[in-house]
Structure 1
Amino acid sequence: MYIGKVDGVEFEIKPSQTILEAAISSGITLPYGCRSGSCGSCKATIIEGEVFHEDIIPGVLTDQDRSEQNFLLCKTYATSDVTIASLVEKKPDEFPKKITPVRVEKLNLLNHDVMQILLKLPAGENLQFKAGQYLEFILKDGARRAFSMANAPSDDLIELHVRLIEGGTFTNYVFNEMKEKSIHRIEAPIGNFYLRESDRPMIFVAGGTGFAPIKSIINDCHRAGVERKIYLYRGFKTHKDLYQDEVVENWKKNINNFEAINIYSEEVVNGQEKSLVHKKVIKDLGRLDLFDVYCCGAPGMIEVAYKEFVEAGLNPNSFYSDAFTFAQK
């Protein structure tokens, strides 16, 4: 057993716990988001002590972070007593997390393996969040499942895109047992994936249901009158995986400075060559030093995209990501 200290408050850390898990179980509030090492919300400095840090997606921590003893607490284990200084401070425009009941208003099958869930909050309740953030379903056994919110903050209903995962207990429940009008509990908002202030053109890269938070951001940008150039690249394996293309077509008609393309890695569609989505971005746009990139999808896609985008000139600090990891139970 080790002792952790943050802001003068001590807490116990078991060898089997990450520092974040230990802090939460002791009732200490630290910033966090995904709890899987992809969002960067729990970044902190280890002032004193020794730790072991698991591998994470490249780009979440910079070389400078590592040299300054900055770590992600959700992936860090103490190997001695430690003193921690949190780097992520609460901003005035951030919204507090809350747990609330929701009702399933509508279930819509969007393609062969993506279900749209529309959730309604209780009368008089509203959920304030930044476009791009996510929520967690709180299951009966206390387990949680995270899904990005696809609706804009001004929308009345919460929209989720749930992909059916082979062997995934919760996603199988969604597809086979979840009923309209059923009541569930969620906690939100969570996450560090949202639009940053800038005047640079934006590239949005979505793998599969990684489209959900990007849909939220683009709709929010449109309603707020953001005039920055937007490029949207959506990656799929085959054409049958495409969904909500009508949403993108509507954006093409109504949003100035907006371009979008669907990329397929395993099928030629309308004469378009097969490609990985990140490679198509580089082929089309070349040097990326003048862009901000928002990338959402599987961790492997984000890892490769980050590496090759930086090689194409992207400033590492202009790459923002949300990696989707899938629970099997």
Structure 2
Amino acid sequence: MTFQVTVQPSGRQFSCAADETILAAAIRANVGLPYGCKNGACSSCKGMVLSGSVTHGPHQERALTAADEAKGFSLFCCAKPHSDVVIEAREVLGLGEFPIKKLPSRVAKLEKVAHDVMTITLQLPASEKLQYRAGQYIEFILKDGKRRSYSLANAPHISEQVTLHVRHMPGGLFTDHVFNTMKEKDILRFEGPQGTFFLREDSDKPMVLLASGTGFAPIKAIVEQAMHIKSKRPMILYWGGRRPRDLYMHALCEEWARTIPNFSYVPVVSDPTPEDNWDGRVGFVHHAVMQDVQDLSNYQVYACGAPAMVEAATTDFSAVCGLPTDEFYADAFTSELDLAAG
């Protein structure tokens, strides 16, 4: 059985099978609903069901609480329709411009840049160009059919190779392989580009770039893209980690601060130890933003990292600093542990 989904306020319509999620059907129809993780953990696809009924599959409670669901909110990545439905969602225009492809790639380089972070450089097929927007991600397709998502850490104009930042999660199916057995020249299959977290190039608003851990990867791509298009927009990068060693490309960020006009960099560490000799900012990284930029009403914010950080920034920047909700763009990095917690 197939139902009709209508998106408000755009009025776009698409069909959705009863055993299909609304988000999957939207992607298939090139309708740009916002999304991130696609598995009920990050809440990027959260919207309102105005009419009709849906059933939600497994998801994290913090992404969609029972109280939110009672008010009519939905996570479209895990919502399946029981009838024709009308939903309210902020549609991302032009998302279908770059087709999602399944591509093979060859591991060109592995570089351990921190005790628990590896960069993987992938050589793409000469006959296939991966078109994407700075900030988007790809999904590796593993041999057992499982998938793992990683953000592209370089701007799209560097298209012959792409780079990813992988944090080691001990016991993780994919990251154990990356750190212990993966070799250069190995073949990996992926599907992409994915996600609606990317640089909005049609704005001239100043940008706050907020990252925790390897959430720096898509932020790096956004900075490189802004440089490539010779953007004059002011950019402030706040990068947080537990200890200074977690800011694994700190020197690059300092170089950007020296060489890019209207760019500044604020590293923030939450739990430095005496041997770190850290004399910089200490605390939660999004609190540092609120201390420095108390009025965010004329800003765009791009936030990427741990779900707790993204969720806190979403709430606090809007409620305390006046950031318009439609100028907050986010990608919450969810691990298997995060998903299990839901």
| TM-score interval for Structure 1 and Structure 2 normalised by the shorter chain | 0.7 to 0.9
Structure 2: which 5+ residue stretches go unaligned? 6-12
The match for 1:174 among 175, 178, 183 is 178
Asked whether 1:103 is paired with 2:102, we answer: no
1:319 paired residue number: 328
Q: Provide Cα deviations, 1:163-221, integer angstroms capped at 9, x if missing partner.
A: 00132111111100111000111111111011122221110000000000000010010
Q: Distance in 1 between matches of 2:233 and 2:39?
A: 31
Partner of 2:10: none
Match of 1:83 in 2: 85
Q: What displacement does 1:235 show? A: 0.2
Rate the CA distance shift 1:270–1:10 in 2: closer, same or farther, 3 A: closer
Give 3-state SS (helix, strand or coil) of 1:105's partner: strand
Aligned residues of 1:46 and 1:82 also touching (Cα < 8 A): no
Show the counterpart of 1:213. 218
1:204 & 1:281 partners in 2: Cα distance?
10
Residue 217 of structure 1 aligns with an amino acid whose one-letter code is: I
Root-mean-square deviation (CA), in Å?
Answer: 3.0
1:159 equivalent to 2:163? Answer yes
8 Å contact kept, 1:114–1:162: yes
Quick check: 1:193 aligned with 2:207? no
Indicate if the aligned counterparts of 1:39 and 1:322 stay in contact, CA closer than 8 A. no
Distance 1:169 1:92 in 2: 31
Residue 17 of structure 2: aligned partner: 11
Instruction: Give the counterpart of 1:259 among 261, 264, 267.
Output: 264
Query: Could you tell which deviates more after superposition, 187-196 or 226-235?
Result: 187-196
- 1:51 pairs with 2:51: no
1:163–1:171 contact (8 Å) kept in structure 2: yes
CA contact (8 A) 1:44 1:84 kept: no
How far residue 97 of structure 1 moved from its aligned partner, in angstroms, is 0.6
Q: Which letter does structure 1 place at the counterpart of 2:332?
A: A
- CA distance in 2 between partners of 1:227 and 1:39 (Å): 32
Say how many residue pairs are matched. 314
For structure 1, list consecutive stretches of 5 or more residues without a partner in the other structure. Answer: none
TM-score (norm 2): 0.82
**8 Å contact kept, 1:57–1:299:** no
Measure the CA separation in 2 of the matches of 1:224 and 1:12: 43
Q: CA deviation at 1:92?
A: 7.5
Note closer, same or farther for the CA distance 1:141–1:203 as it changes in structure 2 (3 Å cut): same
SS state at 2:291 partner: helix
Q: Distance in 1 between matches of 2:114 and 2:29?
A: 42
SS in 1 for 2:145: coil
Match of 1:234 in 2: 239
Distance in 2 separating the partners of 1:230 and 1:9? 40
Q: Partner letter of residue 324 of structure 1?
A: F
Q: What residue number does 2:131 align with?
A: 128
In 1, are the aligned partners of 2:235 and 2:263 still within 8 Å (CA)?
yes
User: Does the C-alpha gap of structure 1 residues 251 and 187 become closer, same or farther in structure 2, counting only changes over 3 Å?
Assistant: same
Compared with structure 1, are the counterparts of its residues 239 and 46 closer, same or farther at alpha carbon in structure 2 (3 Å cutoff)?
closer
**Counterpart in the other structure of 1:275:** 283
| Percentage identity across paired residues of the two chains | 41
> Which of residues 287, 291, 312 in structure 2 aligns to 1:304?
312
Q: 1:39 to 1:104 in 2, by over 3 A?
A: farther
Cα contact 2:51–2:87 (8 A) shared by 1: no
- Give the SS at the match of 1:110: strand
Conserved? CA contact 2:30–2:95, under 8 Å: no
Query: Is the 8 Å Cα contact of residues 39 and 193 (structure 1) preserved in structure 2?
Result: no
Do the aligned partners of residues 19 and 94 (structure 1) sit closer, same or farther apart at CA in structure 2, a change above 3 Å counting? Answer: closer
**1:28 CA displacement:** 6.9
Counterparts in 2 of 1:28 and 1:143: CA distance versus 1, 3 Å: farther
